[in-house]
Amino acid sequence: MLTSQRIFAYLWSLLVFPYLAFASLDCHSLTIPVHVNVEVPLIDIPVPANQSVVTNILQEFLTITANFVEDHIIGTQTVDAHYQIFGQLCSPHGVGSGATLEIATHGVGLDHTYWALGGDNSPNNYAASAVNAGHSIFLYDRIGTGQSSKPDGIQQVQVGVEAEVTHELVEFFRAGHANVSYDRVVGVGHSLGSFITVAVTESHPGDFDDVVLTGIAIDNLPSVLIAGATIMPTIAAEVFPRYHGLPNSYWVFGGFPNYQILMVKFPFFSQALLGISFANEGVVTLGELITLLAPTMTTASAYTGRVLVVTGAEDFAFCNGDCSQIVTGTQTAVQAVQNLYPVASAFQTFVPENTGHSINMHNGAAAAYAVIESFIGA
Ligand SMILES: *[C@@H]1O[C@H](CO)[C@@H](O)[C@H](O)[C@H]1NC(C)=O
Ligand SMILES: *[C@@H]1O[C@H](CO)[C@@H](O)[C@H](O)[C@H]1NC(C)=O
C-alpha cells in the first residue's frame, strides 16, 4: 500500500514539477526600434482595388503555364525604413551573462503568440519549454503583424526586409541592450519565419550560432501552389474590424476550413488552440507570398553554424501532406533543406509523425520541443 502510494506520489511529481517550473514564466514586453537599409525585389503590382482583383491575382499565380513571380519582379529597390518591433522576452530566473537567447520568428496567419500557445502551464507553450531548458527567448511580431509596424504590404513587408529586421534584433541583443550579454544567439523559425531565418543565415552568416527551422521543406513546387490555393487570400480589412485601415495588400485566409487544412493534421491537434489561433488570426501580405517564391533564395554558403529542421510528417504547406515523398532524386523535401547549407557544421532533421504544419498546435508538440531544446543544448 505504502509502496504504491509512493509510486503514485513519484509519478505525480514527474507530472507536476515541470509545470511548476513553468508556472512563473518570466516574460516582459519590449518594443524595439529598428532601422533597415536593404536592397529587395521591386514588384510591379499595384495595391489591389478590391477582392475581385485579389482573387484574380491568385488565379493568375496558379495558372499552369504562368511565370507569375518572375513576371512581376521587375528589378530591385532600396528599402530604407524605421520600424517598431513588438515582442516578449522570456528568461529563466536570474539569467546572467553567457546566456543563450533564442529569437523566434512566426509564420503566416499567426503572430508572436504562436510560440506561447495555451498559457504558461501548457505543454504546447514553446517559450515555456525554452525557458525550462535554461534559454532566454524573444518571440516577436514580424512587421505587418500584431503590434509591430505595418508598412507597405507589397514593397516593404517582404522576406528580404524581414530578414534585415531579424538581423537588427540580433544586433540589439548581442550589444547588450536588454541588459544581458548573450553569448549564443539561436534563430528559431516556423514556416515563413523559417525562410526568413534562412535568409538571415545567407545575408548575415555570423548572426546565429545555430538555427532551428520548423515547418519548412523546399523543392516541392506543387505543394506550394496547392498551399497558395488553399489559403484563398482574402482582404484582411474586409474580414476583421481590427484590420480596418490596412491596405488591400494585407490578406487573411478564406475561412476556418482553409486555416485548418494548412495548419494542422486531423485529429492530432488541439481544437482549442487552433480555434484561439484562428480568432487571433494574423495576416500575410502580397509582398511576402511573392518573395517567398522568388528565385532569390540561394544557399547560405558562408553559414558554419548548426542546423536542425523539424517538420511534421504530414506537413501540408511544403510537403503536400506527406514528407516521405522523394522530390529531388534521392531527397525528401525536408532533406533538401541541407542543400542550402553546404558548410554548416551539422545538419539534422526530425520529422514527427501525426503532425501537420503548425507543430506547436499538435499533441506531439512537447516531444518536438524536447528534441529542439536538447539540440540547442546548454
Ligand atoms: C474591382 O476593381 C476592378 C479594377 O478597378 C474593377 O474593374 C472591378 O469592377 C471591381 N470589382 C468590383 C466587384 O467592385
Ligand atoms: C535595462 O536597464 C535600464 C536601466 O535599469 C532600464 O531602463 C531598461 O528598461 C532595461 N532594458 C531592458 C530591455 O530590460
Query: Residue 153: which pLDDT band, with cuts at 50, 70 and 90?
Result: very high
How many Å apart are CA 27 and CA 87, to the nearest integer? 10
Give Cβ neighbours of residue 185 (< 8 Å, ≥ 6 apart): 100, 101, 102, 103, 170, 173, 174, 207, 208, 209
Sheet architecture: strand order including 250-252: 234-235, 250-252, 284-285
What pLDDT score was predicted for residue 16? 41
How many Å apart are CA 270 and CA 50, to the nearest integer? 35
Query: Residue 79: which pLDDT band, with cuts at 50, 70 and 90?
Result: very high
Rg, C-alpha atoms of the chain: 20
306-310 and 210-214 beta bridge pairing: parallel
What pLDDT score was predicted for residue 12? 41
Coil, strand or helix at 305: coil
Predicted confidence (pLDDT) at residue 320 exceeds the cutoff of 70: yes
What are the φ and ψ backbone dihedral angles of 263, each rounded to 5 degrees?
-85, -35
How many Å apart are CA 309 and CA 188, to the nearest integer? 10
Q: CB within 6 Å of ligand 2 — which residues?
A: 30, 178-179
Q: Are 121 and 135 in contact (CB under 8 A)?
A: no
- For a pocket test of ligand 2, which of 169, 179, 182 has the largest count of ligand atoms closer than 8 A to its C-beta? 179
Check residue 190 and give left, alpha or beta (phi > 0: left; psi -120 to 50: alpha). Answer: beta
- Cell, residue 367: 516531444
Predicted confidence (pLDDT) at residue 2 exceeds the cutoff of 50: no
What pLDDT score was predicted for residue 275? 98
Query: Residue 315: which pLDDT band, with cuts at 50, 70 and 90?
Result: very high
- Minimal-distance CA residue to ligand 2 atom 1: 179
65 lines ligand 1 (CB under 6 A): no
- Minimal-distance CA residue to ligand 1 atom 1: 50
Q: Are 317 and 191 in contact (CB under 8 A)?
A: yes
51 lines ligand 1 (CB under 6 A): no
What's the rounded mean pLDDT across residues 328-342? 95
The domain of 266 spans 4-376
What are the φ and ψ backbone dihedral angles of 175, each rounded to 5 degrees?
-75, -5
50 lines ligand 1 (CB under 6 A): yes
Q: Which of 356, 269, 273, 274 is nearest to 310 (CA)?
A: 356
Percent of the chain with pLDDT over 70: 93
346-350 and 234-235 beta bridge pairing: unpaired
What's the rounded mean pLDDT across residues 272-288? 98
Q: Are 258 and 228 in contact (CB under 8 A)?
A: no
Please tell me the distance between residue 106's alpha carbon and the centre of ligand 1 in angstroms: 33
- Minimal-distance CA residue to ligand 1 atom 11: 52
Coil, strand or helix at 29: strand
How many Å apart are CA 74 and CA 82, to the nearest integer? 25
* 202-213 pLDDT per residue, tens: 999 999 999 999
Q: Are 259 and 253 in contact (CB under 8 A)?
A: yes
29 lines ligand 1 (CB under 6 A): no
What's the rounded mean pLDDT across residues 223-243? 96
Q: Which of 162, 170, 154 is nearest to 199 (CA)?
A: 162
Please tell me the distance between residue 51's alpha carbon and the centre of ligand 1 in angstroms: 8
Number of domains in the chain: 1
* 88-116 pLDDT per residue, tens: 999 998 877 679 999 999 999 999 999 99
Q: CATH number of the domain that 33 lies in?
A: 3.40.50.1820
Which ligand is the nearest neighbour of the Cα of 52?
A: 1
